[in-house]
Structure formats: C-alpha cells, structure tokens
Amino acid sequence: MDLTQLSTLASQAKNRSIKSLFSIPVQTELSFTESSRAQQFSLSSAGLYLDYSKQNINEDELTALLTLAEQKQLSAKIAAMFSGQHINNTEDRAVLHTVLRASDETRKKILGKQADEVIQTEEHMEKIVDDVRSGHLLSASGKRYTDVLAIGIGGSYYGIKVALSALHPFHCTGIRVHVIANVDGGAIQEKLSKLDVDTTLVVVISKTFSTQETLLNAQAIKSWMLTSPSDGAANNTIMAKQWFAVSTNIIKATAFGIDEKNILPMWDWVGGRFSLWSAVGLPLALAIGNENFSRLKAGAREMDEHFQVADFRQNMPVLLALIGIWNRNALEYSSLAILPYDHALRALPGYLQQTDMESNGKSVSNNGEKLPWSTAPVVFGQEGTNGQHAFMQLMHQSVDIIPTDFILALNGSSKYLEHHKVLVANCFAQSEALMQGKTLAQAKEELQLAGYSANEIDKLALHKEMKGNTPSNTILMETLTPKTLGSLLALYEHKIFVQGVIWQLNSFDQWGVELGKVMGNEVLAVMDGQSSEDLSCSTLNLIKRFQEQSTIVK
Ligand code: F6P
C-alpha cells in the first residue's frame, strides 16, 4: 500500500461519523463489549496516557497504517537513528539528540570516545549551576547573580521557553531566567529595564554563532553591559565572568569576546529544534536546578525506550504519528490544533509549531524527488480555555475540520482546586462537543423547547447546527513535572520523526529558512542605498516608504 492510496482507503471513513464507531463492539483484552473502544484505542506509557478513541479510524484502517509503517521499514529507520547512522542525508549528519539523555553506557556504545566530551559538558553545565547557586561564581563586581539572560532563536530558544514556563513550580534556585529571541529593540529594551548589569549572567545560544538576530541581540546586550567610557580591563573581566556561550563554533564565539572556558560545545549531530537536552538547556537548569534537569531527561529517556521496544500497535509515538498521517493524507485535513489545558504549557503550541513544521514542512523526498503527497499540517494552538473564546468558533462551525490534540495534567499545580476542576471539565467537554456536534434536528428541537415560534426556528436553526465529527487525541498526565514534560516533548519528537519516515523526507534539515535570510540581507543593502534587480517593485516601494518616513534614515 502507498500513501497515495490512503484517500481511497478512507472512502468509508469520509462518510462516517466518529460517534458511530462507539457503537461497534470491539475486542479488548478485557472483554467483548460495546463500550470498550475507549480501552482499545488508548494506551499508557512513560507517565502519559493517550486516548485516540475520538479519531475517525477503525481497527482495520489502523492495521493498514501499521502495514504501511512496516513497508516504510520504520523499525530499521528507528534503529538507524538511535545508532547514529547519518539519516540527515542532505547534511550528512547523524541525529543523536537521544544520546544526550541516554545512559553513559549507551553513550559510550554509540559515540565511542566522543561520549567523554558529552559527559564532561554535562558536568561543566552542572558545575556552573552549582556555582551560581552557591555564590561560588560571582559577577565581575563580586555580586551574586539574580538573573540569567539567554539569547537565542528558533531551536536555540523554543525548548528553553516551553520548559521554563511549564516547570515554573520547579524553579528552585532563586535565579530568574529570561529569554530573548526576536530581533526587536522594543523587546530588548523592556527586558533590560528589569535587569541589573552587576547581577546578570548572559548565555548566548547559537549552534552556528552566525544567526543574525542572535548576534545583533548579543551585541546590544554587550554594549549595555560593558563600561562606558570603555575600560578595557574591566570589560575583559565582565566578559570572562558574566558571559557564556553554547555553540559548535568556538572560533566565532571567542571572536565575539566570550572566554573559551565559558563556551559549552554542541555537536553537529544535535539539531537545533531537538537540542534542549544538550547544554542549550543551561538557562533552564539554572532555573530548575540540576536534579530537575536530570528528571526532565529521564522522562525523555523513558519515552525513547518505549519507542524503541514497544510493538507498533502499542507504541505511543508511532500511533500518534499514524493518526496524524491518517488525518493528513487519508481524510485530507490540513491543520492540527494543539490545545494544552494548562497555563504552564502555554508555550507548547509555539514550540511544536517549530519542531513539526520546520521538520516536516517539505515537499521533496530524501532521494531528491518531488513528493506526490501532502506532508506536515499547519500547527497552531493556544492554552485552553482561552482558545474556546477565540478560534474554536471556527473549529465548531466552519467547513474545515481541524484535528486536535488536547493535553492535560489531571492535577493542577495551584491551590485553586475548583479552578482545576472547571479547566478539566472544559477540556473533556470540548473534545466531546467537537466530536458530537449538533444536528439540525437537535438544534430545532432545542429552539422548540425554548419556546421559539416556527418562523424563528426556521431562521435560527442552521446557525445553531454544529458540524461535529472533528477527531481529537487527549494526552493526560497525572501531574506536570520535569519527568512528564520530558516524556511529552520526546513523544512529539518521535512522532515527527515517524511521520518523516512515512512521508519519506528528511525531518532534520531546514533549507527552507535560507531564502528569507538571504533576501533579508539583500533588502537591508537596498535600505542602505544599494541597488537591486532582484526585488519586485512592490518591495522596492515599501523600502522607499521606509526611507521617506523612518526616523532611522533621517
Ligand atoms: O530557524 C532556522 C534555524 O536554523 C533553526 O534551525 C535554528 O534552531 C535557528 O535557526 C537558530 O540557529 P543557531 O542556533 O545556529 O543560532
């Protein structure tokens, strides 16, 4: 079976209501009952519970997808990734973020001598955290650090951001950690207004140390921090004590002024969007402490182990991926909503937007051929219940069906227990409402019961109809902890990898972002007075307006 045949395979599903699947008896290990779909289409692993019974899929269709996964040699591809084969073929690199959270024994087996570097980097990172916490590491003026400012963008930012907010209750070091990504002077100004030069430690995170936004931000923060008028010796001390970097590019980082002993390495086998587990996680560890950072990795490791050994029918990342393939290629839905019902997970939709869309938003196979099928969906989302009062209107009543992942911790982290109960109720209710919808007949009956006249019912009923039949997953955890967060992030990492295998593309490069970077420089040159034959008159006109009206030019 091929991906192009999935749409035909789904002809029955396209005209089927998800609700009807609940009335079909299904076989479970427990018994042969009508209500067992919830058991058969759910599983637990690594502290997470996945319910996918509200998907528009039956056992036969799932079996066909599992066969497809076998045909695409998924088992061999998983083994290839974990063993360090160069599966990122367009860049000729291994993909080994999993080794960063593996046992030392596994690290040595996969990396050989390089395992020592990984272990030493981890120890270095832990020492920095301990020394900052204990006051052993002080600022240039001899003060204890109160704040850490991390500068990075894309994969050198999203992971830290999502984990910093998700693990807020676990911030235990007394150090406030801030992240700056966008090249926006307003954002820098706002951040710096809250910081004190004498008590702020800076970490520049850039795998390449050549990303325009990061370098410009680092430069601005350097100017803010260094003495004016310039005192060379004092500035050298500030750089040596207060500036750290995480990068593969030691030469550029030292040229920027960061002391070599303060540069923690990265390796070309860790992709930016999978790099939280490396020294990129230093700012996070400075907030949550070394023990919690280890727990985060332990959660991810548990998911890695499950992913490698579980039978595909009981394999959480594989099932999540196959369901996504079913929705994208068989039912032809083009988006995916990520709705964490948890304020702490508010950054998760943005994080997954990058991991999913930058990994699989491609249309060429790893053999360099045009792909005849659709790939990554448009990922968007927001914390619930806020989304209910915004875009969920469209999800209930537009013609587009938007598959959704609901994510929820059964226990909240606050003392407001009633709030959490209401939040949970809303989460469960939304998945039910999206699936059940409301028929025209039900809408009419409701209006009739409410005392509306026949004329009014005719006018209003269609407005009250809800299309329903929107598929969703619900991912539950007992509590959001470093460990369950680690499992959750690894779950999505592996889901994305599996989808890349099925779609036959390389999930680990990102050539698509290059053109914008190149053109950005070209536009900048034109803004500075150079001519260009490549830019359209639309863009040239916009530049002209900037030149006429911006105070920067005048
Ligand atoms: O968004 C493109 C990208 O290359 C990402 O893949 C990467 O995470 C980000 O830019 C930042 O790159 P760097 O860590 O090299 O500064």
pLDDT classification of 554: cutoffs 50, 70, 90: low
Is residue 194 part of the annotated active site? The answer reads: no
510 lines ligand 1 (CB under 6 A): yes
State the pLDDT at residue 227. 81
| Amino acid making up residue 358 | E
Q: Could you tell me the distance, in angstroms and rounded to a whole number, from the CA of residue 510 to the centre of ligand 1?
A: 9
Index of the ligand 1 atom closest to the CA of residue 214: 16
29 vs 10, more confident:
10
- What does pTM read for this prediction? 0.96
DSSP 8-class letter at 364? B
- Across the range 393-405, mean pLDDT stands at 98
211 lines ligand 1 (CB under 6 A): yes
- Across the range 387-395, mean pLDDT stands at 96
159 lines ligand 1 (CB under 6 A): no
Index of the ligand 1 atom closest to the CA of residue 513: 2
CA distance 227 to 239: 11
State the pLDDT at residue 23. 80
Query: Mean of the per-residue pLDDT values for the chain?
Result: 96
- 495-551: pLDDT as tens digits: 999 999 999 999 999 999 999 999 999 999 999 999 988 999 999 999 999 999 988
> 196 in helix, strand or coil?
coil
State the pLDDT at residue 185. 94
58 lines ligand 1 (CB under 6 A): no
Index of the ligand 1 atom closest to the CA of residue 247: 14
Both structure tokens of 60:
């036969």
pLDDT above 70 for 129: yes
Question: What is the best residue among 151, 153, 179 to mutate for testing ligand 1's pocket, by most ligand atoms within 8 Å of CB?
Answer: 153
| Amino acid making up residue 108 | K
CA distance 356 to 359: 5
Q: Could you tell me the distance, in angstroms and rounded to a whole number, from the CA of residue 182 to the centre of ligand 1?
A: 12
Q: Could you tell me the distance, in angstroms and rounded to a whole number, from the CA of residue 153 to the centre of ligand 1?
A: 6
Question: What is the best residue among 208, 252, 264 to mutate for testing ligand 1's pocket, by most ligand atoms within 8 Å of CB?
Answer: 208
Is residue 29 part of the annotated active site? The answer reads: no
Q: Could you tell me the distance, in angstroms and rounded to a whole number, from the CA of residue 272 to the centre of ligand 1?
A: 6
State the pLDDT at residue 25. 65
Closest C-alpha to ligand 1, atom 1: 154
Index of the ligand 1 atom closest to the CA of residue 152: 16
State the pLDDT at residue 32. 47
State the pLDDT at residue 551. 84
- Beta carbons within 10 angstroms of residue 355's beta carbon: 24
Which entry of 389, 421, 459, 544 is annotated as an active-site residue?
389
**Whether the Cβ atoms of residue 361 and residue 512 lie closer than 8 Å to each other:** yes
Could you tell me how far CA 452 lies from the centroid of its own chain?
48
Provide the pairing of β-strand 378-381 with 404-411: unpaired
- 193-202: pLDDT as tens digits: 999 999 999 9
Percent of the chain with pLDDT over 90: 94
Both structure tokens of 447:
């209006």
The 200-205 sheet, strands edge to edge: 176-180, 147-151, 200-205, 243-247, 263-265
- Within 370-439, residue ranges assigned H as helices are 392-397, 417-436
State the pLDDT at residue 171. 98
Ranges 67-81, 120-134, 220-234, 257-271: which has the least confidence: 220-234
- Across the range 399-412, mean pLDDT stands at 98
Q: Could you tell me the distance, in angstroms and rounded to a whole number, from the CA of residue 179 to the centre of ligand 1?
A: 15
> 210 in helix, strand or coil?
coil
158 lines ligand 1 (CB under 6 A): no
- Across the range 264-286, mean pLDDT stands at 98
Q: Could you tell me the distance, in angstroms and rounded to a whole number, from the CA of residue 210 to the centre of ligand 1?
A: 9
Index of the ligand 1 atom closest to the CA of residue 155: 8
Cα→Cα distances 143→134, 157, 261, 514, Å: 12, 27, 21, 42
513 lines ligand 1 (CB under 6 A): yes
Q: Could you tell me the distance, in angstroms and rounded to a whole number, from the CA of residue 207 to the centre of ligand 1?
A: 7
- 163-216: pLDDT as tens digits: 999 999 999 999 999 999 999 999 999 999 999 999 999 999 999 999 999 999
Is residue 517 part of the annotated active site? The answer reads: yes
217 lines ligand 1 (CB under 6 A): no
Which entry of 358, 396, 444, 493 is annotated as an active-site residue?
358
Question: What is the best residue among 91, 95, 97, 156 to mutate for testing ligand 1's pocket, by most ligand atoms within 8 Å of CB?
Answer: 156
Closest C-alpha to ligand 1, atom 3: 154
CA distance 110 to 106: 6
**Whether the Cβ atoms of residue 116 and residue 267 lie closer than 8 Å to each other:** no
Question: What is the best residue among 211, 248, 268, 354 to mutate for testing ligand 1's pocket, by most ligand atoms within 8 Å of CB?
Answer: 211
CA distance 489 to 276: 10
DSSP 8-class letter at 332? -
- Across the range 401-421, mean pLDDT stands at 97
